[in-house]
Amino acid sequence: MDALPIGRRVAYWRNRRRMSQQVFADRLGKSKSWVDKVERGARRLDKFSVVHEIAEVLQVDMQVLLGEDLERRPEDPNGVDPVEIEGIRAQLERYNHRIAIFDPPSELPPLDEMRKAVAHAWLSFQHARYGMLARTLPRLLRQAQAADSAYGDGPYATEAAHLLGQIEQISAAVLHKLGEYELARIAADRSVLASQRAGDQLLVGVAMKRVSMALLSLGRARSALEINLNVAYRLAPRTGNGDPSPERISVYGILLLQAAVAAARIGDSATSRDLLGAAEEAAQALASDVNHCLTSFGPTNVELYRAAAAVELGEGRMAVQIHDRLDHEGFNTLPAERRAQHYLNQARAQTLINDIEAAGAMLLAADRLAPSEVRCRPLAHELLSDLLRRTRGTPSASLAELATHLSVSV
């Protein structure tokens, strides 16, 4: 797209935002004829103020219109259009809603519609629909930011901040899946701040887990471990405080599990084992795999994290044994995203014990269950590439077909 003139870029993004020329013209305060001439290149865009206004209406960064964005490649092996990631980045970097005192919103965004959108976005994430989320998150972020500004210190300020915190957390989760770890950290940091304004300790706790996941992927395992332990300590059930809610136990438990993986990453098997034990004790208080606070915390998920920690410690055989003894009924109640992620971990475990055929079977199982977990994740692409290099002879037809689809060399 770098070679396209700016008028063609404007037309491209107008179509991406599903705006007609007339609607676009109305929002700019221009005529439809003016828009048509700009898009055809018959009229030059040589004023900074006009380009800035167009970027505002289209909700894209000015550099995108000026020719410094990524090329759109629908066939991209990551399964997500790179310009969608740039759209999320641009929206996270917008500060209009943070300085709304200069330009207060003229109308209040409808919170009831936002609640439905947030619930649908969480459901989409747990079904591993990352491509769809990448396309919708810029708009959801924009709406949530506008609501957070519009409701200010009024009676609905807390709810608006809560919705923004959730959207930013979903953004962090999706960006992490797509390998955009630094951007995921920024989104998670923003979620922590919004969740604090909402006064929701549990939402803060889950947002901090997202921060730690990004740090872990950025190679900062000790910082990730410290964050999880600090927040888990503050949420820990305490004697004399009455029976903690299942929601509080779930957030406390998932923080312990994330800390256990971080400890395993730095080779501290004793700490990892102790944290898994504490999480198992917390899960026993729940007695079932109920998805409180969208954590999927419960007895089965403890075992999945135990297997993940074993992989981090290089104990592939132990990770496979944990998988073999899983409670299948409990496993099948977990979201597709969580189960597919476990299959990827099991593929890594099988490679550690040099069972390449079994590793391929696990990768294909993940692809059947939640295709985006494999097709959108750089981690899965690297795993597939490694499996193909280590396969003796010709890979299976299914694995070769997946490699072709992902543009991974066989």
Rounded CA gap, 287 and 300, in Å? 10
Looking up tokens 């989104």 gives: 187
Q: What pLDDT sits at residue 63?
A: 66
Tens-digit pLDDT profile for residues 134-176: 989 998 998 899 899 888 778 899 999 999 999 999 999 999 9
Which one, of 181, 253, 192, lies nearest residue 216 by Cα?
A: 181
Which one, of 265, 258, 271, 257, lies nearest residue 299 by Cα?
A: 257
Find all residues with CB under 8 Å of 192, minimum gap 6, and list them: 165, 204, 207, 208, 211
Q: What pLDDT sits at residue 45?
A: 84
Residues of the chain with pLDDT under 70: 1-4, 61-63, 67-79, 95-107, 239-243, 410
Q: Give 1-69's CATH code, choosing from 1.10.10.10, 1.25.40.10, 1.10.260.40, 3.40.50.300.
A: 1.10.260.40
Q: Is the dihedral of CA 95, 97, 101, 102 positive or negative?
A: positive
Q: What pLDDT sits at residue 132?
A: 87
Q: What pLDDT sits at residue 73?
A: 41
Q: What pLDDT sits at residue 69?
A: 43
Q: Each residue of 155-166: b (16+ CB within 10 Å) or e?
A: eebebbbbbbbb
Domain with CATH 1.10.260.40 in the chain: 1-69
Tell me, rounded to whole angstroms, the distance of Cα 65 from its chain centroid. 26
Residue type, position 71, single letter: E
Rounded CA gap, 64 and 168, in Å? 22
Which one, of 26, 134, 53, lies nearest residue 372 by Cα?
A: 134
Rounded CA gap, 86 and 92, in Å? 10
Tens-digit pLDDT profile for residues 336-378: 999 999 999 999 999 999 999 999 999 999 999 999 999 999 9
Q: Which two tokens stand for residue 56?
A: 């505002």
Residue type, position 96, single letter: N
Q: Which two tokens stand for residue 153?
A: 């210190």
Rounded CA gap, 54 and 96, in Å? 15
